[in-house]
Amino acid sequence: MTILTIEKRKQRTEAEVLYNNQFVKMIMSKFEIYQNSKTKKEVMVLDSFSDEAKSINLSLNQYYYYQYLCPKAFLSIFRIIVYFTI
């Protein structure tokens, strides 16, 4: 794995850990959240962590797609060249 993928995976893991921490915090203080009418704010915070993890995942998947597409394209072109030369 390259440095880029390792860094992206660390960022994704960090976003997931922050999401879990916020979720546990929200569960533990649920009565306070209900009394102060902060449910929308807490849900928005959870959504932001989830969106961040999703965007990191998409960029990582795009990197993997091109990483495996290039050798496949090279082999396909090589097969075509070999087929027409023989």
CA distance 81 to 75: 10
What pTM was computed for the model?
Answer: 0.67
The answer to whether the beta carbons of residues 63 and 69 sit under 8 Å apart is no
pLDDT in tens, 35-57: 888 888 888 988 998 999 899 88
pLDDT in tens, 16-32: 999 999 999 888 888 88
Domain count, the chain: 1
User: Which pLDDT value is given to residue 1?
Assistant: 60
In Å, what is the CA distance from 4 to each residue of 15, 56, 68?
A: 17, 11, 15
Residue range(s) defining the domain that contains residue 46:
3-85
